């Protein structure tokens, strides 16, 4: 089990951008208005400066900035820096939080390697809606910053019961449960696909606890002797699963 942890090349400090277009040698990628502003105004990039691009499918590529007037900026691809690579981290299910806290959970989940993010509605969920486009943009920004090659899916909020009713049996669900210290360790031998479930700020109701404990694919786990905020629990739980080997980062393809 091998995970690439960086680029052994001199361009690792070059700006890194996500684009939707196909990436191949010689491609001419038109930067969006926001990307052009970022490169020109914020970073003061000029013609010939390096930039790294990825699209979630074709690995990471080195390009060069080509200025074409005030309204257009092109990125010309030169060579592939990293090939496509599987990033099969655990899923994260978390009870929907208020906006800033939800934004933080999504950002940290992407940085920690989650491959899918599912906001769920529980009995004590204190938020009702999210701006899905905003969360997707946050996921892209976090992937750009953390040097991921993929953008994890961010689902629309859904009721917890609905998620569990169609849960894939081959994916094990670890339920973060406060006040259960000490707890049995999370075993890393022959891990199957995994997911982490984090409850709302008010905690699980007794009915939810009993229902979740009764599911064969659910294992309650403790994240330590202290009661954590929901956004802290999401980051701590993902780090625990990753550290114990409950994710597979395949060799480049």
Cα–Cα distance measured from residue 81 to residue 61, given in angstroms and rounded to the nearest whole number: 5
CATH number, domain with residue 192:
3.40.1280.10
Domain with residue 26: its CATH number is: 2.40.240.20
Q: Are residues 121 and 170 in the same domain?
A: yes
Query: What pTM, to 2 d.p., does this model score?
Result: 0.84
Among 52, 82, 112, residue at a domain's last position: 82
> Given its phi and psi angles, is residue 146 left (phi above 0), alpha (psi -120 to 50 degrees) or beta?
alpha
- Do 126 and 190 lie in one domain? The reply is yes
Domain match, 97 and 59 both: no
Residue 252 has what pLDDT? Answer: 45
Query: Do 107 and 182 sit in the same domain of this protein?
Result: yes
Q: Are residues 97 and 198 in the same domain?
A: yes
- 47 and 133 belong to one structural domain: no
pLDDT at position 87: 82
Task: Say if 136 falls within a structural domain.
Answer: yes
**Domain shared by 100 and 190, yes or no:** yes
Are residues 153 and 33 located together in one domain of the fold? Answer: no
In a domain, 2, yes or no: no
Q: Reading across the β-sheet that carries 28-30, which strands appear in turn?
A: 16-18, 50-54, 60-67, 73-82, 28-30
Q: For every one of its 253 residues, what pLDDT tens digit does the chain have, with 9 covering 90 and above?
A: 334 444 456 667 899 999 999 999 988 999 998 899 899 889 998 889 999 999 999 999 999 998 766 768 899 999 999 998 878 889 999 999 998 999 999 999 999 999 999 999 998 887 767 899 999 999 999 999 999 999 999 999 999 999 999 999 889 999 988 766 555 556 654 567 899 999 998 888 889 988 998 899 998 888 888 888 999 999 999 998 887 765 554 434 4
Count of domains forming the chain: 2
Residues 48 and 123 in one domain: no
Domain that holds residue 39: 16-82
Confidence at residue 2, expressed as pLDDT on a 0 to 100 scale: 36
**52 and 142, same structural domain?**
no
User: Cβ–Cβ contacts within 10 Å for residue 227, how many?
Assistant: 12
Q: What percent of the chain has pLDDT over 70?
A: 85
Q: Which of 82, 99, 133 is the last residue of a domain?
A: 82
**Beta partners for residue 194, in sequence order:** 172
Spatial contact of 52 and 60, defined as CB atoms under 8 Å apart: yes
CA 121 to chain centroid, in Å, comes to 20
């Amino acid at each position: 089990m091998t995970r690439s942890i960086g680029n052994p090349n001199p361009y690792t400090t070059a700006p890194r951008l996500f684009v939707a277009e196909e990436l191949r040698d010689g491609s001419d990628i038109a930067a969006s208005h926001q990307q052009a502003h970022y490169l020109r105004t914020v970073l003061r990039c000029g013609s010939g400066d390096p930039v790294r691009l990825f699209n979630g499918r074709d690995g990471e590529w080195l390009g060069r900035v080509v200025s074409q007037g005030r309204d257009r900026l092109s990125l010309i691809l030169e060579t592939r820096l990293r090939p496509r690579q599987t990033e099969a981290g655990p899923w994260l299910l978390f009870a929907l939080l208020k906006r800033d806290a939800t934004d933080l959970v999504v950002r940290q989940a992407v940085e920690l390697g989650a491959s899918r993010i599912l906001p769920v509605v529980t009995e004590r969920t204190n938020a009702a809606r999210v701006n899905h486009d905003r969360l997707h943009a946050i996921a892209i920004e976090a992937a750009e910053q953390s040097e991921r090659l993929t953008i994890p899916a961010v689902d629309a909020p859904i009721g917890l019961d609905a998620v569990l009713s169609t849960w894939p049996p081959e994916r094990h669900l670890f339920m973060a449960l406060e006040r259960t210290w000490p707890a049995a360790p999370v075993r890393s031998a022959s891990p199957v696909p995994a997911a982490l479930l984090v409850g709302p700020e008010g905690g699980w109701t007794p009915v939810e606890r009993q229902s979740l404990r009764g599911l064969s694919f659910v294992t309650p786990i403790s994240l330590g002797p202290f009661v954590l905020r929901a956004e802290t629990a999401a980051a701590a739980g993902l780090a625990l699963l990753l550290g114990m080997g409950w994710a597979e980062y395949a060799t480049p393809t």
